[in-house]
Chains A and B, each alone.
Chain A
């Protein structure tokens, strides 16, 4: 187990290094370089050269890299010139709000997707299974923003059941004080994720149902209920735990679209606004944070999997 942990952590560190190089390289893609895009089209070459020197963009890439990493290690992710605040404070302000949305959507989709996926596997090839399969294919094929659009059209415009906007406000408390406004964004988010969990759960349970240990359990006289819930269900959950750790990029993508559709004041909306304004330090900082979360998520998923399933440690 220790050697597995060490090997896996070393891999994560190498990935981390590569990711930071990619991310910094992205900045240099901006038309005319990062400074030109910051100062705007009317900046003179002298001004661009001056600020290139100030920000160190005239140095070789590797020096820029080490300076940048040094800054990050000191908790300095850059400064948003458009919003006149540090990227760190922006993240501190918006991240909790996005976490609320992501958590709500993930929990709602898990508590529906796991039981329904299990139901589908047990009642496979019945009408109920086909209907639910249809629903999850819809989830795969429907763009996240379109789900949001439809929910607004149906439940906010046609029937005035919920507000068409997400809760507004700068603090977490303000967001949570408008639970009705949270319903549509959560549902839209959960629908897309539901497809993921339920499909995975269905195939995982079906795989497990034909395993030897299930036959053994049945042979020992275990009731069907016990076989399903104690043996199959627990083993199928292992797959879901792993999937959860790997799904951060999907969660981020969902969050960006949902936040734009509902004007939800989180990191996704801030990222989108920064993209429209060429606010590259915000783009860089946010991408880095989301990527770090993904790497840690992958690492935890692998370690979790190794803890739950000893077979993977030895290859």
Chain B
């Protein structure tokens, strides 16, 4: 797990967006239909085959987890001890776990938790981090310095320790988990957006808000945030992957969501119990592990492609 805002190589390049080439916008060949920014961004994104495959995979995994249970019916509430650790095949495509839950059905239910918490934690932390960072950067001066020292302080506490303590203190259910992850994650977003804001606030259109009597809130929400949206969306994509990883880590430690609910990390910790037994229970380990890895890789690829798309849409194509 490489969750380290400020020192994450995935972030290189997001901090310095190229200046918009305003001259280029006016030089579209006469007669040629000007393409919208969104369209051009999508073209860049679609050129990246890995990103398209990743997007397809995410759609697939969403369908699998949320529509799947309506097609492939399994009992994920009552334990069934006669099916304990049954081998894959026949009635149970991927076998059963140690209390007789069907593994395929478990993957769906666990995936629902992982994806819901991942998305929600990403949204919450990105919203908080964006507003905090944008206001801090916009206000500037000693207030900005102090607000950023709070962020520094938060980032100096090894996040995993805070998260472990918080999950021990609060009874972890999925909603609580969202906020426990966001408590840490918004800090990195805030630092990044603040950096972006520092360069945006000197632009003429932001200055103009002040001239016409607009307040700070208007400047931030209507002008700074929309112009930093590339960075924000890219960061949100990575945040989903990171949140799924953190949740799985907590699930593995037994501090995540509690049974009969589960997530992919929780399923893995069940697998650890049996790893040293003489028989190989591979279906307890590989399916949830591979699900985590592929989902996180997919979000990382999408994030990379989005960054390229947002960067190039500002340049002449």
Write the B253-277 contact mask toward A (1 if CB under 8 angstroms, else 0).
1110000000001001001100110
CB of B1 within 8 A of CB of A278, answer no
Contact of A29 among B9, B155, B156, B169 (CB under 8 A): B169
Q: For A196, what are the chain B residues with a Cβ–Cβ distance below 8 Å?
A: 2, 4, 9
Contact of A143 among B152, B168, B252 (CB under 8 A): B252
Does A253 make an interface contact (CB < 8 A)?
A: yes
CB of B293 within 8 A of CB of A142, answer yes
CB of A15 within 8 A of CB of B4, answer no
Interchain CA distance A248-B268 in the complex, whole Å: 26
CB of A15 within 8 A of CB of B168, answer no
Q: 21 A-B Cβ contacts within 8 A?
A: A22-B154, A26-B162, A26-B165, A29-B169, A137-B297, A138-B297, A145-B268, A149-B268, A153-B280, A195-B2, A242-B7, A247-B7, A248-B158, A249-B155, A249-B160, A250-B2, A250-B3, A253-B159, A253-B249, A275-B168, A287-B157
Interchain CA distance A141-B3 in the complex, whole Å: 11
CB of B150 within 8 A of CB of A149, answer no
CB of A252 within 8 A of CB of B156, answer no
Does A18 make an interface contact (CB < 8 A)?
A: yes
Q: For A157, what are the chain B residues with a Cβ–Cβ distance below 8 Å?
A: 275-276, 280
Does A97 make an interface contact (CB < 8 A)?
A: no
Interchain CA distance A195-B162 in the complex, whole Å: 24
Contact of B159 among A153, A243, A249, A295 (CB under 8 A): A249
Interchain CA distance A199-B4 in the complex, whole Å: 14
Does B149 make an interface contact (CB < 8 A)?
A: yes
Q: For A287, what are the chain B residues with a Cβ–Cβ distance below 8 Å?
A: 157-158, 161-162, 165
Contacts A152-B276, A153-B285, A291-B156 known; 4 new A-B pairs at CB < 8 A:
A144-B1, A146-B293, A153-B275, A253-B158
Q: For A256, what are the chain B residues with a Cβ–Cβ distance below 8 Å?
A: 160-161, 164
Known contacts A14-B149, A144-B1, A146-B292; is A271 also within 8 Å of B164 by CB?
Answer: yes
- Which 3 A-B residue pairs are closest in the complex by CB-CB distance? A141-B296, A18-B153, A253-B160
CB of B276 within 8 A of CB of A257, answer no
Known contacts A23-B157, A199-B9, A254-B1; is A137 also within 8 Å of B271 by CB?
Answer: no
Interchain CA distance A121-B138 in the complex, whole Å: 37
Does B20 make an interface contact (CB < 8 A)?
A: no
CB of A246 within 8 A of CB of B165, answer no
Q: Count the A residues whose beta carbon is within 8 Å of the partner chain — how many?
A: 61
Q: For A14, what are the chain B residues with a Cβ–Cβ distance below 8 Å?
A: 149
Distance to closest chain A CB from B258 (angstroms): 14
Q: Which residue of A lies closest to B282 (CB)?
A: A153
Interface size on B, as a range, is: 35 or more
Distance to closest chain B CB from A246 (angstroms): 4
Distance to closest chain A CB from B150 (angstroms): 6
CB of A257 within 8 A of CB of B252, answer yes
Distance to closest chain A CB from B160 (angstroms): 4
Distance to closest chain B CB from A155 (angstroms): 12
Distance to closest chain B CB from A112 (angstroms): 16
Q: For B156, what are the chain A residues with a Cβ–Cβ distance below 8 Å?
A: 15, 19, 249, 291, 294-295, 298
Does A11 make an interface contact (CB < 8 A)?
A: yes
From residue 286 to 315 of chain A, which have CB atoms closer than 8 A to chain B?
286-287, 290-291, 294-295, 298
Interchain CA distance A152-B249 in the complex, whole Å: 17
Contact of A18 among B3, B149, B169 (CB under 8 A): B149
Q: Which residue of B lies closest to A142 (CB)?
A: B293
Contact of B150 among A18, A138, A242, A291 (CB under 8 A): A18
Distance to closest chain A CB from B151 (angstroms): 10
Write the A206-236 contact mask toward B (1 if CB under 8 angstroms, else 0).
0000000000000000000000000000000
Distance to closest chain A CB from B292 (angstroms): 6
Q: Which residue of B lies closest to A23 (CB)?
A: B157
Does A261 make an interface contact (CB < 8 A)?
A: yes
Does B202 make an interface contact (CB < 8 A)?
A: no
Interchain CA distance A148-B287 in the complex, whole Å: 16
CB of A246 within 8 A of CB of B6, answer yes
Distance to closest chain A CB from B44 (angstroms): 17
Does A260 make an interface contact (CB < 8 A)?
A: yes
CB of B241 within 8 A of CB of A246, answer no
Interchain CA distance A298-B3 in the complex, whole Å: 16
Contact of A137 among B157, B165, B166, B300 (CB under 8 A): B300
Known contacts A22-B154, A157-B275; is A243 also within 8 Å of B293 by CB?
Answer: no
Q: For A30, what are the chain B residues with a Cβ–Cβ distance below 8 Å?
A: 169
CB of A15 within 8 A of CB of B2, answer no
Does B107 make an interface contact (CB < 8 A)?
A: no
Q: Which residue of A lies closest to B248 (CB)?
A: A143
Write the B7-43 contact mask toward A (1 if CB under 8 angstroms, else 0).
1011010000000000000000000000000000000
Does B216 make an interface contact (CB < 8 A)?
A: no
Does B190 make an interface contact (CB < 8 A)?
A: no
Does A115 make an interface contact (CB < 8 A)?
A: no
Distance to closest chain B CB from A311 (angstroms): 15
Q: For A254, what are the chain B residues with a Cβ–Cβ distance below 8 Å?
A: 1
CB of A140 within 8 A of CB of B152, answer no
CB of B157 within 8 A of CB of A22, answer yes
Does A200 make an interface contact (CB < 8 A)?
A: yes
Distance to closest chain A CB from B308 (angstroms): 14
From residue 216 to 267 of chain B, which have CB atoms closer than 8 A to chain A?
241, 245, 248-249, 252-255, 265
Distance to closest chain A CB from B162 (angstroms): 7
Q: For A192, what are the chain B residues with a Cβ–Cβ distance below 8 Å?
A: 1-2
